[in-house]
A and B are shown apart, each in its own frame.
Chain A
Amino acid sequence: MKEIKQQMIDRILKAFPDAKNTDYDGNRLDIAIKKESVPALLMHAKEEMGFRHLSHIAYIDWIEQGEFEIVYILWSPSDKLKLFIRTRIDRENPVMDNIDMIWRQANTYQREMREMLGIEFPGMVAPDEFILEDWDDIPPFRKDFNTLEYVNRTFWHRPGREDAQDVRETITKRSGEEIPDFAKKYSR
C-alpha cells in the first residue's frame, strides 16, 4: 500500500505544483492546496485516481489566523485509501467554489457550512435555511459566537434553581478572604 500511496502523492504533486503533502501513517493521504485549485484536484482525484466517494466535508474556524479551513475527505474503494484535501479561505470574505456538480451530496455539506460558518457558495441551488429556523445572529459555529450569552438571552430559566451558589464566593465566605475590587475581573 505504501507504494501506491507514494505514487498517488507524486501524481498529485506533479499535476498541482502548489499542493503540499503531509505524511500520515496508515491509509491516509493529506494534501493542502490553495482554494482555486480545489475543484480541479477533486475532479482529478475522482476521475483519474479512483477516489469515487466523497465521505465528508469538515470545517474549522481558525479565528486567530483569520481563516476558515475546509477539508474534503474522499475515499477510494479500489485502493482502500482516504484522501484529505484541505484548503484555507479568508474569514472576512468567506467564498468557496460550489462543487455539488462533482458530488451531489456536497450540496448538503455546503448548506451546512453556509448556515453554520457563513461561507457563500456562488451558484449553489438550495433552500435558504438548513437546520436553524429564523436565525438572526452571527453563524453559530463561528468561534466568536457566544453560545452562553445567546442561550441566556433566548431560553428562560426554569424555576427552582435559585439556590445555586458560586464556588468562589462560598469559599471566600468561609475563609474570610477579601478579594479587592480591581482583582474581581480575574475571578471566574
Chain B
Amino acid sequence: MSFFDLEGTLKPLTALKQFGKKPHTLKDIPWKKREAADRYRGLHYNNLDECIGCGNCSSICQNAAIDMIHIDGIEGKKGDSGLRPRVDNGRCCWCALCVEVCPTGSLSLTKDYLYVTDDPDTFLWTPGLSNPDGAERRSFVSDKDHSLNDFRRVPMPELEGKERVKSFAEVVLGYNEQQAREEAQRCISCGICTEVCPDHMHIPEYINAIAKGNDADAVRIIYDNNPLPEMCGKVCTRRCEDVCAIATRGEPVAIRWLKRYATETAQTVDMIQDIVNPEIREPNGKTVGIIGAGPSGLTAAYYLALRGYDVTIYEANAKAGGATMYGIPKYRLPVESLQKQVDYIRSIGVKIHFNTKVGKDISFKEIYDKYDVVFMGVGFPDAWPLGIEGDDAKGSMQAFRYLYMINSGEKVDVGDKVVVVGGGNVAIDAARVARRFGADVTILYRRRVEDMPADWEEIEGAEEEGVHIIPQGIPIKIHKDEKGRVKAIEYLKAEMVADEKGGRPRPVPIEGSNTILEATAVMAAIGQMGDYSFLGKEFEEKIKIERGRFVVNEKQQTTDPKVFAGGDAVNRTADAISAIADGFRAVKAIDEMLMGKK
C-alpha cells in the first residue's frame, strides 16, 4: 500500500451513483423514530407488584450488578420478602440472565437504551421505580416455556384410585433418589417459604443438601427444629408450598415430598440416631411434666430432653402421636412410620406413661406439684355435633370419633351409604376411610369445592377413589327409620352470596330446594373442641381459657407462669406443624425460665 492510495480515495465516490434513488431500507427517516428490535435488551423494568423479592436475579448476576434493597412503600409480608432489585448499570452487560431466571416474570428488559442525565454518577437504576412507564416498552420478557426455571414438578408415584380403595396401603409411594435430586434442583433457595412455616424450618438449606446429594445433612438440618419430620413429610398442611416462588407461575417445589424423601432414608431408630447424633446435655436436675403425647408434647419433650431436662409425658391413649396417630388414616401415615419417630424420641430419654388420663388416673394438681414446669399439649379430643333435627339417630356420629375408633382397631358399622358433612381434611379422611370399607360415600359441603379448606391433593384423591362431592348443600334434618336408625339426610341447596365486608362468599339456603339423600350413616366433620375438665376447679380459675382455647403469651406461657401450652388447644391453625412450632417455642421459654438463660 503506497502512502497515497488512489484507489482507496476514488472508490467511495462510486456510491454517488445511488444519489437521488429511493432507499430500499430506511424508510420515513428521519421523520419516524426507529424502534429497537422486538427482543432488544435495554434498560430493566420490574413490575413492583408482581415481584416477590426472591432475589434470584441478584444471585444469578455474574457481574454482581444487582442488589436487593428496601423501597419505601413496599413492606415484606408472607410470600414477599419486601425487597426489590436495583441494577448498577455500570456493571450490567445486558445478558438478561436475571430475566431468564425470574420466577414471577416481573423482571424484563425494555427497548429503551438511552438515558440522559447531567449527573455522570447516576448508574444505580431501580427497575420499575426509575421507569414506571417501562411496562409499555418491555421487549425481552421472561417466557414460561423457555425460562431457566423448571415450572413442572417431578410427578409423585401413587397407587391407582381403584387399587387404593382395596386396602389401607400407603397411597403416596415416595420419590426415589433420582426423582428427589431432580425435584430438589428446582428450588431457587430464596427462603420465602420459611416465613409461612409455623415452625420456620430451614427449607432451602435441606433442599439444597438433597440437591447436592447429601441426604444425611438434610436429615440433620430437618431435625434441628422438628422431631417428627417423617410425619410432616407425609401429611403436613405445607403452607410453604403455597408461597413457593416457583408457584407464582408453575407448580411449587414439592417441599413436603422432599422432606419425606430425606427422612425416609433413615429407616430405623438406630439409623436416625446415627445420622442425627444429637448432643444430649448432662442432666440439669430440672423436671418437666407434659400432658399429651401429640406433636406439641413430643416436640417439647424431645428438645427439653436434649437440653438435659428430665421429661415425663402422660398420655391418655395406648399410643403416642395424638391426632396424628388417631386422627389421620393409615393410608396417609402408616403406624410404623409414626412409631419409629416416637421410638426415636423415647430413645434419647423421654419417658411416656401410656393409658394415663390426667384428671382420672392422675390429677392435674399432682403433676403440677411434682414438676418444675408443666406443658400441656392436650389437643381437641371432642368434635362438634351437627346440631340439627334427628342428630341423635343411630348411625349419626362425628367423623373425628369414627377415625379415632378405626385407628384404634375397632370395627364401626356404617352401612353402605355414608354421608360426610364438612369440607376439611377430617371430612375427606373419614370419607376415604369409609370408602375403603366398601361404602358409597358422599361429602356434603356448604360452600363450593374450591372453598374447601382440605388439601387439594386430598380432594382429588377422594374423587379418584369414587367419593361423590355435593357442594353448596346445607343439612337441615336427619330422617330416622322405625328403629331410630339413620335413613336419609335432608339438605337445602345454597347459593353463594358475595360478602359485603369483603370476606369469602357466604352460602345462603334457597327456600324450597329441599333434597333428600338416602344414607345409612351421617358423619359430622365441622370442627373439634377442647375438653378442659381435667384441670379441676382450682386450676380452671388460674389458667385462663377463652373461646375454647388456652390463653398464652408469645412464649406459649399460660396465665399460670409455671404452665405452658401448645397445639390445637392453643393455636387457631390446628395443624401438626403449628403444634410442633408451639412445642419448640415453649422449649426455649422454659429453658430461659428454669436456667435463667437468655
Interface residues of A (CB under 8 A from B): 147-148, 151-152, 155, 157-158, 160-161, 163-168, 170-172, 174-177, 179-180, 182-184, 186-188
Q: Are A155 and B91 in contact (CB under 8 A)?
A: yes
Instruction: Report B180-197 CB contacts with A as 1/0, cut-off 8 Å.
Output: 000000001111101100
- Name the interface residues of B85-113: CB closer than 8 Å to any CB of A: 86, 88, 90-91
Kindly list the 3 A-B residue pairs having the minimum CB-CB distance in the complex, ordered from nearest. Answer: A164-B67, A167-B55, A177-B200
Using Cβ atoms and an 8 Å threshold, which residues of chain B touch A180? 202, 221, 224
User: Min CB distance, A93 to chain B, in Å?
Assistant: 28
Q: Are A186 and B68 in contact (CB under 8 A)?
A: no
- Name the interface residues of B520-579: CB closer than 8 Å to any CB of A: none
Using Cβ atoms and an 8 Å threshold, which residues of chain B touch A188? 55, 59, 188-191, 204, 208
- Name the interface residues of B271-309: CB closer than 8 Å to any CB of A: none
Instruction: Report B197-229 CB contacts with A as 1/0, cut-off 8 Å.
Output: 000101011101100100001001100100000
Which single member of B55, B67, B202 contacts A177 (CB below 8 Å)?
B202
Interface residues of B (CB under 8 A from A): 53-55, 58-59, 61-64, 67-70, 76, 81-83, 86, 88, 90-91, 121, 123-124, 188-192, 194-195, 200, 202, 204-206, 208-209, 212, 217, 220-221, 224
Give complex CA distance A188, B209 in Å.
11
Give complex CA distance A161, B86 in Å.
9
Q: Are B205 and A163 in contact (CB under 8 A)?
A: no
Q: Are B205 and A175 in contact (CB under 8 A)?
A: no
Beyond the given pairs A175-B195, A177-B202, A186-B205, 13 more chain A to chain B contacts, judged by CB atoms under 8 angstroms and listed by A's residue number, are A147-B63, A148-B63, A148-B64, A158-B123, A163-B67, A164-B68, A165-B70, A167-B54, A167-B190, A170-B68, A186-B208, A186-B217, A188-B204
Give complex CA distance A183, B207 in Å.
11
Q: Are B220 and A172 in contact (CB under 8 A)?
A: no
Which single member of A161, A172, A176, A177 contacts B124 (CB below 8 Å)?
A161
Give complex CA distance A165, B81 in Å.
11
Using Cβ atoms and an 8 Å threshold, which residues of chain B touch A158? 88, 90-91, 121, 123-124
Give complex CA distance A155, B61 in Å.
14
Using Cβ atoms and an 8 Å threshold, which residues of chain B touch A155? 63, 91
Supposing A186-B206, A186-B221 touch, asked if A151 and B192 sit within 8 A by C-beta, the answer is no
9 A-B interface contacts by CB (under 8 A): A155-B63, A158-B121, A170-B81, A177-B194, A179-B202, A183-B205, A183-B224, A186-B208, A187-B191
Whose C-beta in chain A lies nearest to the C-beta of B61?
Answer: A148
Q: Are B88 and A167 in contact (CB under 8 A)?
A: no
Supposing A165-B68, A186-B212 touch, asked if A170 and B83 sit within 8 A by C-beta, the answer is yes
Q: Are A175 and B194 in contact (CB under 8 A)?
A: yes
User: Min CB distance, B162 to chain A, in Å?
Assistant: 40
Using Cβ atoms and an 8 Å threshold, which residues of chain A touch B59? 188
Which single member of A160, A161, A167, A182 contacts B83 (CB below 8 Å)?
A167
Which single member of B64, B69, B76, B188 contacts A151 (CB below 8 Å)?
B64
Q: Are A163 and B123 in contact (CB under 8 A)?
A: no
User: Min CB distance, B555 to chain A, in Å?
Assistant: 12
Using Cβ atoms and an 8 Å threshold, which residues of chain B touch A187? 189, 191, 204-205, 208
User: Min CB distance, B100 to chain A, in Å?
Assistant: 15
Whose C-beta in chain B lies nearest to the C-beta of A180?
Answer: B224
Give complex CA distance A177, B192 in Å.
12
User: Min CB distance, A153 to chain B, in Å?
Assistant: 11
Give complex CA distance A151, B220 in Å.
35
User: Min CB distance, B11 to chain A, in Å?
Assistant: 22
* Most chain A C-beta atoms within 10 Å of own C-beta, residue among B123, B195, B217: B195
Q: Are A174 and B76 in contact (CB under 8 A)?
A: yes
Give complex CA distance A183, B69 in Å.
25
Using Cβ atoms and an 8 Å threshold, which residues of chain B touch A157? 64, 88
Using Cβ atoms and an 8 Å threshold, which residues of chain A touch B121? 158
| Number of CB contacts from chain A to chain B under 8 A | 116
Using Cβ atoms and an 8 Å threshold, which residues of chain A touch B76? 170-171, 174
Q: Are B205 and A151 in contact (CB under 8 A)?
A: no
Give complex CA distance A80, B117 in Å.
50
Supposing A165-B69, A175-B194 touch, asked if A151 and B91 sit within 8 A by C-beta, the answer is yes
Give complex CA distance A171, B191 in Å.
7
Which single member of B63, B67, B70, B202 contacts A161 (CB below 8 Å)?
B67
User: Min CB distance, A64 to chain B, in Å?
Assistant: 14
Supposing A158-B88, A188-B59 touch, asked if A167 and B220 sit within 8 A by C-beta, the answer is no
Whose C-beta in chain A lies nearest to the C-beta of B63?
Answer: A151
Give complex CA distance A172, B81 in Å.
10
Whose C-beta in chain B lies nearest to the C-beta of A152?
Answer: B64
User: Min CB distance, A13 to chain B, in Å?
Assistant: 34
Using Cβ atoms and an 8 Å threshold, which residues of chain B touch A182? 217, 220-221
Using Cβ atoms and an 8 Å threshold, which residues of chain A touch B124? 158, 160-161
Give complex CA distance A43, B553 in Å.
83
Give complex CA distance A157, B91 in Å.
9
Q: Are B202 and A163 in contact (CB under 8 A)?
A: no
Q: Are B194 and A171 in contact (CB under 8 A)?
A: yes
Give complex CA distance A70, B567 in Å.
62
Using Cβ atoms and an 8 Å threshold, which residues of chain A touch B200? 172, 175-177
Q: Are A179 and B83 in contact (CB under 8 A)?
A: no
Using Cβ atoms and an 8 Å threshold, which residues of chain B touch A183? 202, 205-206, 209, 217, 220-221, 224
Give complex CA distance A161, B204 in Å.
26
Q: Are A147 and B62 in contact (CB under 8 A)?
A: yes
User: Min CB distance, B53 to chain A, in Å?
Assistant: 6
Give complex CA distance A150, B409 in Å.
65
Whose C-beta in chain A lies nearest to the C-beta of B65?
Answer: A151
Q: Are A171 and B192 in contact (CB under 8 A)?
A: yes
Q: Are B81 and A171 in contact (CB under 8 A)?
A: yes
Q: Are B205 and A179 in contact (CB under 8 A)?
A: yes
* Most chain B C-beta atoms within 10 Å of own C-beta, residue among A155, A174, A186: A186
User: Min CB distance, B351 to chain A, in Å?
Assistant: 27
* Most chain B C-beta atoms within 10 Å of own C-beta, residue among A160, A166, A167, A176: A167
Which single member of A151, A160, A163 contacts B62 (CB below 8 Å)?
A151
User: Min CB distance, A177 to chain B, in Å?
Assistant: 4
Using Cβ atoms and an 8 Å threshold, which residues of chain A touch B209? 183, 186
Give complex CA distance A158, B200 in Å.
36
Which single member of A167, A171, A184 contacts B205 (CB below 8 Å)?
A184
User: Min CB distance, A164 to chain B, in Å?
Assistant: 3
Whose C-beta in chain A lies nearest to the C-beta of B207?
Answer: A186
Q: Are A167 and B68 in contact (CB under 8 A)?
A: yes
Using Cβ atoms and an 8 Å threshold, which residues of chain A touch B61? 148
Q: Are B64 and A167 in contact (CB under 8 A)?
A: no
Whose C-beta in chain B lies nearest to the C-beta of A173?
Answer: B76
Using Cβ atoms and an 8 Å threshold, which residues of chain A touch B68? 164-167, 170
Using Cβ atoms and an 8 Å threshold, which residues of chain A touch B58? 167
User: Min CB distance, B586 to chain A, in Å?
Assistant: 14
Using Cβ atoms and an 8 Å threshold, which residues of chain A touch B204? 168, 186-188
Using Cβ atoms and an 8 Å threshold, which residues of chain A touch B64? 148, 151-152, 157
User: Min CB distance, B212 to chain A, in Å?
Assistant: 7
Give complex CA distance A180, B223 in Å.
11
